[in-house]
Chains A and B, each alone.
Chain A
Amino acid sequence: MKSFSDWIRQPGLLNAVPVGLFLLVGFAGPLVLVLLYSFMPPKTFTLNQVPTLENYLSVVTQSYYISFGWSLMLAVITVALLLVITYPIAYGMTKLFNRWATLITILVALPLLISENIRLFGWVLLLLKNGVIDGSLQYLLGVSLSGLLYTVPAVVLGLVYVYLPFMLFPLVIGMSMVPDSLKEAASDLGASRLQIFWEVELPLSMPGILIGSLLVFILSLGSLAESKILGGQVIVMIADDIESAFTFAQNWPKGSVLSVLLITLSLVIIFFLFRNIDLDRLVGRR
């Protein structure tokens, strides 16, 4: 790079300008605003007040750790469950299904194009008292299972359901990077199946596992619809608290503080994620 004027004339940079400007105005701008508001006195609607740490202190001393705790815990549970659920499928897709793998990819991806609201509502119908599951059990066995909806497991089910593709696809990419020859070599050298799994397959597909886990973790952490639709009032997740601070309570600075905390946590994870992926390789398969 010789000088600024050379740098600014790069054709790549010029092409990046429209998207870059758009994200500057629509993404960076609002986030900076939220950060600024988090230092304003409670319940103010302008930025010309004296900055204060009052909101941060009140958030720490009040019971917000409960909703943060729920969100963190549910995110961890969702990640763990999805790892167990999707690992065999990813294995099948990379090693067994051959041609069918494309069809399965499409079938798993298609629901992403349907509003998550509608899909979660489908679970309401399944779990409802006298709904599909309860109704079938009553009809077939005469037992009733009416307390399924509006429970913590129902929320976990919703999270697992909605974010499944975000775990499966990175796992498939990660696993397709493990060459079969390595496993054969290990087997020839006398390793057992379990040993091959622990010492060859798992470490080599780790990037995929890591990317999938971190993705699902941040997505579940910031989720709103699952706990509202399937959880009813049983738990409050952090996005819920942020929403009520901004809307019902009309306390922008408090909502901003909670957002800043959630955003910081997510950003730390995202940067960790970025250190582990090479986009040119992942997207372009170069």
Chain B
Amino acid sequence: MKSLLQRKVVRALIVVWTLTVLLFLYMPMMAVVMASFTKQRYFRFPVNAWDTRWYEKAFESLSVRDLFWTSFSVALLVTILSVVLAFFGALAFARYDWKGRKMYQRIILLPIFFPQAVLGLALLLWFSSLGITTSWHTAVFAHMIWILPIVTLIMSIQVYSFDPVWEEAAYDLGASRLQVLREITLPILSPGIISGAVFAFLLSWGNFPLSLFTTGADQTIPEWLYSKMVSGYTPMVPTLGSLTMGGAAGFLLIAFLIVLAVRRLRAGKPD
């Protein structure tokens, strides 16, 4: 009897602890959103006056628009290029058994766990030694060193569950290579491709350490936020921070809805 009570107490404690840690994870983000709606120039708590004027200013500002487009262009290009390259990378990772695969899998993982700030500086050195002027184009390249392996890994999870028998059956029925790719391989792997793309976009959108050293005269939103946090604080910091978080959340929601719609469409279509 005593041990049953004990077990219940332990259980309750673990639940409370988990909820506390979840709160801990989200508290800072809530604080940023709260600060973005305050009226004062400098944040004080408790907040005594609310206002949306920093948002109005952000939407009017041309420099904010530039920041947005730079971040967006980088993230979009990183997404497209990473997904295309990672598609083949994932097939090599999980679909085929080949001599050298174990080695390849490990090499793929290396950049993910590599200190990003050091990678960014090494790339800066690399670009200037090759005589390449850094701009947001070089940042696309830099982001991909880190994001391409992650996307490859995510797509591989899907590839592992892919049964090559489907491809073989299609070949036997006389399908061409391109037809098999379009009708069999891509549709079956599409969930992996979509989640890979979502991760690629959001990780690039929020990346700071790689952008810091590789964007040259251009600036992404996380870089701008950092420069204002370290010196020259403006109340636009929480506002732009909230807008980037909102953007990420919106993107995630849209991606989720698309996946849902595609799934429903497919379920309704008789094969």
Contact = CB atoms under 8 A, between A and B. Distances in A.
A38 B15 CA distance: 51
A181 B89 CA distance: 39
A19 B85 contact: yes
Contacts of A222: 114-118
B73 interface: no
Contact of B126 (A33, A89, A224): A33
B4 to A, nearest CB: 13
Given A22-B145, A114-B245, A259-B122, 10 more contacts: A12-B98, A20-B104, A22-B144, A92-B17, A115-B222, A115-B225, A222-B116, A239-B115, A284-B160, A285-B160
B217 to A, nearest CB: 15
A194 interface: no
A262 B115 contact: yes
Interface in A115-151: 115-126, 128, 130-132, 134-136, 139
9 contacts: A15-B96, A16-B89, A16-B98, A22-B85, A23-B148, A27-B110, A96-B15, A115-B222, A273-B113
Interface stretch (B60-68, B150-158, B168-176): B150-158
Nearest to A10: B98
Interface of B: 11, 13-15, 17-18, 21-22, 24-32, 34-35, 43-46, 85-86, 88-89, 91-102, 104-111, 113-119, 121-126, 129, 141-142, 144-145, 148-149, 152-153, 156-157, 160-161, 199, 202-203, 205-209, 213, 221-222, 225-226, 229-230, 237-238, 241, 244-245, 248, 252
B125 A242 contact: no
A190 interface: no
A19 B25 contact: no
A33 B88 contact: no
The 5 closest A-B CB pairs, nearest first, are A222-B115, A122-B28, A12-B96, A135-B45, A12-B98
A34 B122 contact: yes
Contacts of B92: 12-16, 19
Nearest to B224: A117
A164 interface: yes
Contacts of B157: 283-284
A225 interface: yes
A236 interface: no
A262 to B, nearest CB: 6
A228 to B, nearest CB: 7
Interface string A212-239: 0001001101111100110000000001
A29 B125 contact: no
A270 B114 CA distance: 9
B28 to A, nearest CB: 2
B199 to A, nearest CB: 8
Contact of A259 (B14, B121, B206): B121
A27 B209 contact: no
A285 B230 CA distance: 44
Contact of A107 (B22, B96, B207, B225): B22
A89 B17 contact: yes
A86 B148 CA distance: 29
A73 interface: no
A53 interface: no
A89 B45 contact: no
A221 B219 CA distance: 26
A contact patch SS = helix
Nearest to A129: B44
A179 B22 CA distance: 27
B26 to A, nearest CB: 7
Contacts of B44: 130-131, 135
Contacts of B125: 30, 33-34, 37, 246, 252, 256
A114 B206 contact: yes
Contact of B121 (A17, A134, A243): A243
Contacts of B113: 215, 218-219, 266, 270, 273
Contact of A239 (B26, B118, B144, B206): B118
A208 to B, nearest CB: 16
Nearest to B209: A224
Given A16-B89, A30-B123, A136-B46, A91 B22 contact: no
Contacts of B93: 16
A113 to B, nearest CB: 4
Nearest to A16: B92
Contacts of B203: 113
Contacts of A47: 129
B31 A125 contact: yes
A218 B105 contact: no
A58 B264 CA distance: 65
